[in-house]
Amino acid sequence: MDTDTLLVLLTISIPWLGGICVWLVGDRHPNIQHRLATVFALLGGIVSLSLLQYTQGQTVINIPLGGAFGDFTLVLDGLGAYLTIIAAVIGGLAVIFSNDYMKGENQLGRYYSLTFLFIGAMIGLVLSGSLLFVFLFWEITAFCSYALISFHNDDPKAVAGGIKALIITSIGGVGLLIGAIVVYAYLNSYQINDLLVGAESLPPSVLGLIAFGFLIAAAAKSAQVPFQTWLPDAMEAPTPISALIHAATMVNAGVYLLARFYPAFEAVPGWRMTVMLVGMLSALLAGIMAVVVYDLKRTLAYSTIAQLGVMVYAIGAGAILASQFHLLSHSVFKALLFLGAGAVIHAVGTRDMREMGGLGKQMPFVRVVFIIGAISLIGLPLTNGFVSKELILEAGLEHTPFLLFALVMFGAGLTALYSTRMVWMVFYGEPRGEKHAHDAPGAMRFSLALLAFGTMTTWLLIGPFSQFLANSLPPSYEIEVVKTWEVILKVISTPATWVALLVAFLGASLWFLRDRFAGFVASLQPLADFIRGGLGFEWINQQIIRITKGTAAAFRPTQTGLLSWNVFGIVGGLVILLVLIVWGV
């Protein structure tokens, strides 16, 4: 077996082995569970990093399964490899963070084994070269997400949030499955590479069906408009899970899917415009919602939707490199923000920002790392968010209609406003809570410090990152190899950056001038309540549930439970089928 095959198999199997081992240890030995999980997390992260050396876009595993299942393949290329590293490394850090965060919780075996199952499945999803297995891993990650959101299964809100996430992402998954089956029907292969090569030979209507099917799947997974409602409700999950699944990895799967198939779909009429619109609307609406909510984690969830929207918008604009680099930056700084929020929530015991305030003095370390994350989220210099976001805005200014660009820019201003509001409400001002908070303990600090370091340094990787992607991906992805210093100079000198910084400054200063506008803000209170209710999307969800339940109730009388009627139905169905066959339909 070649080294690269062995390493790929190890990166997938180490988390899964870890999951089984931690589960087998049993919940009576929580200390052993914590330590074992840490060992596997570190091991998985280190092995995944070694993939960097072997990534050349080659197929490392190819097992023919026969029949309609096609071949099971794992392809090691730049896009898959860097997402693997994100999943393994940030997954590892989240597991280490859990050492402190989940201390004293029951059923750690369930918690850790599901987390490890998720990490392995996520790696499988991004490395898989077969659409059928992309779908399989896609659904495994959805299941893990559901089970971990509902981890506290005695809390009805957690259970409801988990089921909501499962239903919405599964509905999207249908789009992926239909696309995969259509690809198989026309190309007689599930291989992604075959689709990329053979896309031009497909009839335009079929290619359009696949393209929009995949877009629905991506929008549902990445919580884009109109499927975004599940992500805020998913915040009932333990915070390390929010950081790992709902910020750094799983929600990126949609962006990954769009980027992966961009060369095949870019020629589909209206597809790129739809992608840009979905991204822009998500960035804008989620930004508006983030400004009004009081729940710390929900604020972060809305900002995740907004940032994912920016990435989707970048793909629509054709800037694959910029979108993927922002994905990398976002994974790092959003994991940092979520874990920082986790440390705060762990110390204060509430998620409501109205009950926090003035925590900076009690938790100086968390304040520093959280502010680093927030600066990166806003996109200020010296952080990874700055470089990646400016790359996207620059591409947006060049390749998209000005109105779209302006709206995305407005979203960036909102980002500055709600980030400042969040930092201020949590760490500054008068203490509003009664409980005295302690600063983060050791394992938490380790994860936070590493992520903060990453937030301040990964922007230096833009040069090697572009080289890495360009070397192992086909030229159809249009990845331009750049040098780090050239990019920095270009970013500093381009007008988009200065406009963005100005907008960010305006957004942030709006928060400090809030007293001037007090009367105006008060008059907007009904509007804010409407936004907090989910901007009407929640109402649409409720209507869909109501209609589904009503239809089901209407069909209830057909379920008599009587054997004779059921047999009659079967025979009747058979007769109809026979008639159709004889007729030759």
Partner 1 sequence: MNFTPENIIFIGVLGLLGAGLYGLLVSRNLIKVVVALQILVKAAILGLVLAGNISQQINLSQSLAITVIVADTVVAVIGISLAVQIRRHLGSLDVIDVATLRG
Please select the residue that binds partner 1; options are 540, 545, 571, 579, rule is CB under 8 A. 571
Based on CB atoms, which residue is closest to partner 1, 481 or 567?
567
Output DSSP code: residue 245. I
For partner 1, which is the closer residue by CB, 403 or 563? 563
CA angle 236, 257, 320 (to 5 degrees): 110
Stretch that binds partner 1, among 52-60, 192-200, 425-433, 554-562 (CB under 8 A): 554-562
Q: 205 or 559, CB closer to partner 1?
A: 559
582 near partner 1, judged by CB under 8 A: no
Residue 567 interacts with partner 1 (CB under 8 A)?
yes
Residue 520: CB atoms within 10 Å: 9
The DSSP string of 190-206 is -BHHHHHHHGGGS-HHH
**Residue 153 sits in the site that holds partner 1 (CB under 8 A):** no
How many angstroms separate the most distant Cα atoms in the chain? Answer: 82
C-alpha distance from residue 401 to each of 220, 280, 317, 410, 426 (Å):
25, 12, 10, 15, 38
Check binding of 568 to partner 1 (CB under 8 A): yes
Position 542 contacts partner 1 (CB under 8 A): no
CA gap 215, 429 in Å, rounded: 44
Q: Least distance (Å) from partner 1 to the CB of residue 567?
A: 4
Q: Which residue has the tokens 């059928």?
A: 132
Q: Which two tokens stand for residue 315?
A: 């793909």
Residue 482 CB-density burial (10 A; 0-12 exposed, 13-18 middle, 19+ buried) = middle
User: Among residues 475, 557, 561, 584, which is the contact residue for partner 1, using CB under 8 A?
Assistant: 561
> Of 242-250, 327-335, 488-496, 556-564, which segment contacts partner 1 by CB under 8 A?
556-564
User: Which residue's CB is nearer to partner 1, number 201 or number 564?
Assistant: 564
Binding window for partner 1 (CB under 8 A); candidates: 9-17, 299-307, 502-510, 564-572: 564-572
Nearer to partner 1, 525 or 560 (CB): 560
Shortest Å distance, C-beta 442 to partner 1: 57
Tokens in use for 561? 């439970």
Torsion sign (Cα): 33, 35, 36, 42: positive
Least separation in angstroms between CB 560 and partner 1 = 7
Shortest Cβ 563–partner 1 spacing (Å): 5
- Among 255, 267, 126, residue whose Cα is nearest residue 192: 126
Residue 561 C-beta: closest distance to partner 1, Å: 4
In the complex, what is the shortest distance from the CB of residue 66 to partner 1, in angstroms, rounded to a whole number?
Answer: 17
Q: Which residue has the tokens 């896309």?
A: 199
Residue 317 DSSP symbol: T
Nearer to partner 1, 485 or 568 (CB): 568
User: Under the criterion CB under 8 A, does residue 564 sit at the interface with partner 1?
Assistant: yes
Crossing angle between the packed helical segments 108-127 and 78-101, to the nearest 10 degrees: 170
My answer on whether omega of the bond before 232 falls inside 30° of 0, hence cis, is no
**C-alpha radius of gyration, the chain, whole number:** 24
Considering the complex, state which of residue 553 and residue 563 has its C-beta at the smaller distance from partner 1: 563
Smallest distance, partner 1 to C-beta of residue 570, A: 8
Minimum CB distance to partner 1, residue 571 (Å): 6
| 3-class SS letters over 89-121 | HHHHHHHHHHHHHCCCCCCHHHHHHHHHHHHHH
Minimum separation from the CB atom of position 569 to partner 1 (A): 11
Contact between 563 and partner 1 per CB under 8 A: yes
**562 sits near partner 1 (criterion: CB under 8 A):** yes
* Tokens 């929640």 belong to residue: 538
Q: With respect to partner 1, which residue has the nearer C-beta, 517 or 565? A: 565
DSSP string, 503-554: HHHHHHHHHHTTTTTHHHHHHTHHHHHHHHTTTTHHHHHHHHHHHHHHHHHH
Q: For partner 1, which is the closer residue by CB, 269 or 561?
A: 561
Using the contact rule CB under 8 A, the part of the chain among 191-199, 301-309, 436-444, 561-569 near partner 1 is 561-569
- The region of 156-164, 254-262, 365-373, 558-566 touching partner 1 under the rule CB under 8 A is 558-566
At 63, which helix (H) or strand (E)? strand 58-64
Tokens encoding 402: 């000005």
* Size of the residue set binding partner 1 (CB under 8 A): 8
CB of 298 to partner 1, least distance (A): 44
CB-nearer residue toward partner 1: 530 or 568: 568
Question: How far apart, in whole angstroms, are the C-alpha atoms of residue 99 and residue 398?
Answer: 46
* 560 sits near partner 1 (criterion: CB under 8 A): yes
Closer residue to partner 1 (CB): 364 or 569: 569
Q: Is 185 or 581 the residue whose CB approaches partner 1 more closely?
A: 581
- Give dist(CA 41, CA 38) in Å, integer: 5
Residue ranges in contact with partner 1 by CB under 8 A = 560-564, 567-568, 571
